[in-house]
Structure 1
Amino acid sequence: MPDLLPILTSLAWPIALAVAWLAGEFGQRWTGLPRISFYGLVGFALGASQIGVLPAPDAGPVALLADVAFGLILFELGYRINLRWLRVNPWVGVAGLAEALLTFAAVYLVALAFGSPQLIALMMAALSMGTSPATIVRVINEQRSSGQVTERVLHLTAQNCVLAVFAFNAIIGFWIFRTFDALGEALWQSTVGLAGSLLIGAVFGLVVPALLRTIHNPRQDATVAFALATVLLVAICDAGTLSPYIAALSFGLTARHRRVAFSKAQRNFGPLGELLTVLLFLYAASTLDWRQIATGSALAVIVVLVRQIAKTAGVMAFAHLSGVSWRKGALTGLGLAPLSVFVILLIEHARHAGVHVVEELRAMAAVTMLLEVFGPVIIQRALVWARESSTEAPEQNHAA
């Protein structure tokens, strides 16, 4: 009789995917809450540190597939960013910069007050600047929402991603220089790697639309071509220690401005994109450890509250200057709550790159778990209160 353990081990991820998908479908039907909240709960419950159905996270094929899934989402986010709108209304960008810097300062001071080392406090502050594009794009697509709040949340999420990745890598570069006196590696982590990621993403954004025009059928083939190009881009960045997230965002942003249509019917990249989204949230939550969550729970609650207040205040301060009411400014700030997947994958990348100090950042585990579950609910409620979701009356005047 064959040994059942290897067979069950090989089936762990397919079974977990099926369970997570079912939990999302039934959970959404019974509660009306976003499906991804249930994907995260299943991933956490089945993780190696909890029930133990899923293996411990490593840099294997599942991690690469999670990166591909995140890359597809970041491409779509970049594709929906309208730089012309930001040039016409620069106060939106100013509001994003203000809320990010205010968040950094607030979380840094809170972490120091709880006795965190200065370097760890800086890393926590940098990570807290970000907003999870995976959650934002998924919930917006699921709600089929459009309007001023929706567009501002998308644009500020993209800006937050760039700022958070840059700040986090700069702090890691400083740590490498201070610990190993390795100036070259420190510069690579802080500047060269990010610049290279932006460049390679922009090159893909120029080449792929040109290729689609060459085959004379861009509307039919665009979705497959963009998906294949994103997979290749993520693999190249993974092999070359570049940032696949910045590269995918740059790819989408450049491709949008090359005027190649990306059909609305193919948002989420169709059924394959939906499947990879389930895997992404399942994998991200499975990396969390309940013991670290319990240890950091007090700090996590304060960080979540302070971060949300800072983001909401930063956006509200420039609401009128950017052309919306304070109410819509507050709802936009509220919509920036999701954080989990973005932080988890950044920490995992740093750990796989050999930056061992990130182990101390597991204090962020409780923050990410809280926002893994509640982040999607918060953005969903913000869109409903703004009357921009498909279940509410559509917004009459929305950003171009």
Structure 2
Amino acid sequence: MLNDILSPARAAWEDLQERLFFLPPFPDELDSLALFSLLLVVGLLMGEWLRANLGWPKVIGYVLAGTLFGPSLLGWISLEALAQIRPIADAALGLLMLEIGRRLDLRWLSHNRALLRATLGEITLSFAAIFLFAYAVVGLMPAWAAAAAAVTMASAPAVVLLIVEESSAQGQVTERVILHTALSAAASFFVFAVVVGVVHAEYSDDWLNAVIHPLWVVVGASIIGWLMARLALLIAALLPKRSLAQVFILVASALLAVGTARMLAVPVFLTLFLMGVTLSFSDQRRTLSYTNLPEGHWLLAIILFVVVGASLPWSDFTWLIGLQAIGMLIVRALAKVAALVWAGGGLSVTKRVMVGIGIQPLSATAVFMAYEVASLYPEIGRSSLSLPLFAAAIMELAGPALCRFALVRAGETAAVDNSKEGVA
């Protein structure tokens, strides 16, 4: 059909080439960069329309655009185009993980026993519940059940941070949602490293892989994150506080960390999270404490969530795995809410439930972690980790809405005119 429509234009172009020899051949397909740029515009418009007309978080529009035009559905974005744009998506996720790491306040946790109890309970119960479901109900092997639990136990830091910023949310529920999200992410990264070793121990012929690879992941990410944080603080100390130059140094150091992590095959999300944590604890002089990322990181978020939406393997979807993913999400949600309600603390039961609902998002970090583990043994990992991937796919759409609902219900969001909102 499309070839029939383009045939007259192709013939006219070829006739013109006979006289204008500098003209390139008639393009058989749109350039991948141009096509992806158009998709970003579509994702932006979808997010803005959903926000203005339905009050939905913009993130949902970005994911829908990527899912619709990705390889699994319309196929307008090829796998090759996704591979080309992956470094930008890594940079986007890295900057958001840097910010969530900078907001991690362990001092608050150390002075609040109930909060510490809630955190440990939520992390432990989430992992145990998901592991038991994946192993006993779905029938995954122990190593892959542990991998599924490591991938899905944590909330999505990028989604939570963006929803909080989009909603201009402030208050106890908001702060606890951010804290629990950051801590569960940190715990999942540790479990992720352990699971990498478990998977190697199960399938590798050389036991060194099971020992060295987890160390490479954790130690490598820690060293890169520490070095880049120290570099940023060292240079930023020579510049005026809260200046544009400091913002530039912060972003440039983060991008250098992203590039170094990619070059050394170390997870970008873990490296930038640890860089953020290092900045939070090492910045005794408050050199960068009040220096915020530019609002342009919202634009990077569009790229990130369009790529994540396009990366979801909807072509492998079956009703059975869909039901299993929903079952796992229900178990995960109950574990998180139950742990927070049980822990008690200074918040009312209703607000503790709101915190439990607010930390439900599951998104980019889970997808990237799943592909990291699956890439170790592609012939086995791809099918074994389809469960957490489809759980992430479902929560790509439901998670942002749940987080926003919790913040609104807690009365901590600012009243905004949706029809006048921009990207930021």
Q: Taking structure 1 as the reference length, what is the TM-score of the superposition?
A: 0.91
* Inter-partner Cα distance in structure 1 for 2:201 and 2:103: 37
- Deviations 1:186-242 (CA, angstroms, capped at 9, x unpaired): 223323421321232122222211211123455432222111111110110111122
Which residue is 1:214 aligned to? 238
Deviation at 1:90?
4.2
* Inter-partner Cα distance in structure 2 for 1:188 and 1:18: 43
The 5 Å alignment of 1:251-266 reads 251-257=275-281, 258=283, 259-261=286-288, 263=290, 266=292
Which residue is 1:45 aligned to? 68
Are 1:77 and 2:83 an aligned pair?
Answer: no
Which residue is 1:318 aligned to? 343
Please, which moves more after superposition, 77-86 or 34-43? 77-86
Please, which moves more after superposition, 216-225 or 25-34? 216-225
Is there any run of 5+ residues in structure 1 with no aligned partner, and where? Answer: 393-400
* Inter-partner Cα distance in structure 1 for 2:83 and 2:63: 20
* Inter-partner Cα distance in structure 1 for 2:343 and 2:39: 44
Q: Please say if residues 151 and 370 of structure 2, whose CA atoms lie closer than 8 Å, have aligned partners that are also in contact.
A: no
Q: Please say if residues 197 and 242 of structure 1, whose CA atoms lie closer than 8 Å, have aligned partners that are also in contact.
A: yes
* Inter-partner Cα distance in structure 2 for 1:13 and 1:326: 46
Q: Please say if residues 223 and 262 of structure 1, whose CA atoms lie closer than 8 Å, have aligned partners that are also in contact.
A: no
Deviation at 1:356?
4.6
Which residue is 1:309 aligned to? 334
Q: 1:223 aligns with which of 241, 247, 251?
A: 247
Please, which moves more after superposition, 340-349 or 372-381? 340-349
* Inter-partner Cα distance in structure 1 for 2:82 and 2:371: 9
* Inter-partner Cα distance in structure 1 for 2:412 and 2:387: 35
Q: Please say if residues 358 and 403 of structure 2, whose CA atoms lie closer than 8 Å, have aligned partners that are also in contact.
A: yes
Q: Please say if residues 319 and 328 of structure 1, whose CA atoms lie closer than 8 Å, have aligned partners that are also in contact.
A: no
* Inter-partner Cα distance in structure 1 for 2:413 and 2:275: 28
Which residue is 2:158 aligned to? 134
* Inter-partner Cα distance in structure 2 for 1:9 and 1:307: 38
Q: Please say if residues 47 and 58 of structure 2, whose CA atoms lie closer than 8 Å, have aligned partners that are also in contact.
A: yes
* Inter-partner Cα distance in structure 1 for 2:88 and 2:377: 21
- Deviations 1:120-173 (CA, angstroms, capped at 9, x unpaired): 222111212111111000000001111111111111111111211221231221
Q: Please say if residues 13 and 54 of structure 1, whose CA atoms lie closer than 8 Å, have aligned partners that are also in contact.
A: yes
- Deviations 1:58-111 (CA, angstroms, capped at 9, x unpaired): 883311111110010011111112222122224323312211211112122222
Q: Please say if residues 63 and 283 of structure 1, whose CA atoms lie closer than 8 Å, have aligned partners that are also in contact.
A: yes
Q: Taking structure 2 as the reference length, what is the TM-score of the superposition?
A: 0.86
Q: 1:289 to 1:18 in 2, by over 3 A?
A: same
Please, which moves more after superposition, 185-194 or 205-214? 185-194
Are 1:115 and 2:139 an aligned pair?
Answer: yes
The 5 Å alignment of 1:93-104 reads 93-104=116-127
* Inter-partner Cα distance in structure 2 for 1:15 and 1:193: 36
Which residue is 1:56 aligned to? 79
Q: 1:9 to 1:61 in 2, by over 3 A?
A: closer
The 5 Å alignment of 1:1-400 reads 1=13, 2-56=25-79, 60-111=83-134, 112-217=136-241, 219-257=243-281, 258=283, 259-261=286-288, 263=290, 266-267=292-293, 269-271=294-296, 273-295=297-319, 296-320=321-345, 323-352=346-375, 356-360=379-383, 361-391=385-415
* Inter-partner Cα distance in structure 1 for 2:267 and 2:79: 23
* Inter-partner Cα distance in structure 1 for 2:124 and 2:101: 22
Q: 1:299 to 1:63 in 2, by over 3 A?
A: same
* Inter-partner Cα distance in structure 1 for 2:94 and 2:31: 30
Deviation at 1:57?
6.2
Q: Please say if residues 292 and 365 of structure 1, whose CA atoms lie closer than 8 Å, have aligned partners that are also in contact.
A: no
Please, which moves more after superposition, 54-63 or 131-140? 54-63
SS of the residue corresponding to residue 367 of structure 2 reads helix
Q: 1:51 to 1:153 in 2, by over 3 A?
A: same
* Inter-partner Cα distance in structure 1 for 2:367 and 2:375: 12
Number of aligned residues: 387
RMSD (CA atoms): 2.0
Q: Please say if residues 32 and 81 of structure 2, whose CA atoms lie closer than 8 Å, have aligned partners that are also in contact.
A: no
Structure 1 runs of 4+ aligned residues shifted over 3 Å read 6-10, 57-61, 215-220, 261-264, 350-357
* Inter-partner Cα distance in structure 1 for 2:100 and 2:188: 16
SS of the residue corresponding to residue 135 of structure 1 reads helix
Deviation at 1:176?
1.1
* Inter-partner Cα distance in structure 2 for 1:115 and 1:353: 21
Q: Please say if residues 78 and 250 of structure 1, whose CA atoms lie closer than 8 Å, have aligned partners that are also in contact.
A: yes
Which residue is 2:5 aligned to? none
Is there any run of 5+ residues in structure 2 with no aligned partner, and where? Answer: 1-12, 14-24, 417-424
* Inter-partner Cα distance in structure 2 for 1:256 and 1:118: 36
